[in-house]
Amino acid sequence: MEFIDYAIYGPTVLAFLIFLFSYLHDRRKVSNGFLFLIFLFFSLVSLTYAAFTYNNVILMVIVGIVFLIFIFFAIFGGFIIAGASIWNARILIRREGLKKSNILTLLLGIGTLSLFFIPLFDWNQLLFPGAQHFVNFGLFICFYFAFHFVIYVMSSFLYHWYRPRYNKDYVIVLGSGLINGHIVSPLLQSRIFKAIEFYEKQTAATGQPPILVFSGGQGPDEALSEAEAMRDFAVDQGIPIEHTRMEAQSTTTFENMKFSKALIEEEAEGKTYRALFSTNNYHVFRAGIYAKLADLNAQGIGGKTALYYWPNAMLREFIAVVVMYKRNHFIFIATTALLYVSFLLLSYVLLQI
């Protein structure tokens, strides 16, 4: 191999190894999505180089298709996202009702469309001299969070590669609100059924059933705790009640993890245990982050969610993660704003000389 070959292929191999090390070390890191995107970029560079260096027609066709897809989305991607978001919001609102939590895709669609029109106006004349700089910085912030959303979705997708071994002692089932204060909702049923599926597969494979820990407190509008409602539902599905535990104090996902960990460790009496948690597929990655914050050594599995519900739910999850790391985002935005203003002032001073 010549030096140019090492220069092209080397970064691809290095990017893959860095991603692989990070992913295997901790699947619950948002940065895994960013590292994987870097690997994909260098892979495309290497593939393009190999295609034209060795005149490989098949590789040329693959590279051509990838670039055509990229160009297509670069031109029409915004309109596709806007249209799909508004269409999804229409379906979601029709099926789930008009609530604040169900209009995120609608806001995304309207916001994405507005980005195409904002650059068309002269904001210095419409507002005040220098307003264009504020608009430009606002657009930068929009793209900053859009890029982070792509990274979050990629990290969440990568997290779903996890396939747990059938050696768990406990499976924590995360609670959510009950219908009419006592009925297990379809979303919550999905979490329970996912845990039961794992319970049955491990029992069949090893003969050692895990303990199902149902975690969720009682809300002010609920007749019983989520933990009790879930436990009763699971028992009705054939799970022996002696293979269940209830954690009925938690009100948040973080508390689900923290209080379930305390319950398990009290029962384990210092012995080593292996745990898993079950939730919905859109929620599993963020729940994994909370498990890490609670110092709970557990990965997650996700039950199926209706496709129409997924985009809006993922936006909620992303916003929750942004709030979780709001300090980091604030520092970045404030630093960038300071640099931007400093650059504008320096440019103004130089022009006056």
pLDDT at position 1 is 60
- Give the C-alpha separation, 291 to 287, whole Å: 6
Q: Is the pLDDT of residue 344 over 70?
A: yes
User: What is the full DSSP assignment across 157-202?
Assistant: HHHTT----S--SEEEEE--PPBTTTBPPHHHHHHHHHHHHHHHHH
Of 276, 251, 279, whose CA–CA distance to 261 is shortest?
A: 276
pLDDT at position 6 is 76
Average pLDDT over residues 223-252: 95
Q: For 28-32, 48-52, 329-333, 347-351, which range has the lowest pLDDT when averaged over its residues?
A: 347-351
Crossing angle of the two packed helices 131-159 and 284-293, in degrees rounded to 10: 90
- Mean pLDDT rounded to a whole number for the chain: 92
pLDDT at position 131 is 87
288-309 confidence digits (pLDDT tens) = 999 999 999 999 999 988 899 9
Q: How large a percentage of the chain has pLDDT more than 90?
A: 75
Contact 171, 278 (CB under 8 A): yes
24-80 confidence digits (pLDDT tens) = 999 999 999 999 999 999 999 999 999 988 888 999 999 999 999 999 988 888 899
- Number of other CB atoms surrounding residue 14 within 10 Å: 13
12-21 confidence digits (pLDDT tens) = 999 999 999 9
Q: Is the pLDDT of residue 111 over 90?
A: yes
Radius of gyration of the chain (CA): 25
Instruction: Collect all residues with Cβ–Cβ distance below 8 Å to 168 and sequence separation of at least 6.
Output: 198, 202, 210, 274, 275, 276
pLDDT at position 98 is 83
- Give the C-alpha separation, 87 to 237, whole Å: 37
Contact 108, 142 (CB under 8 A): no
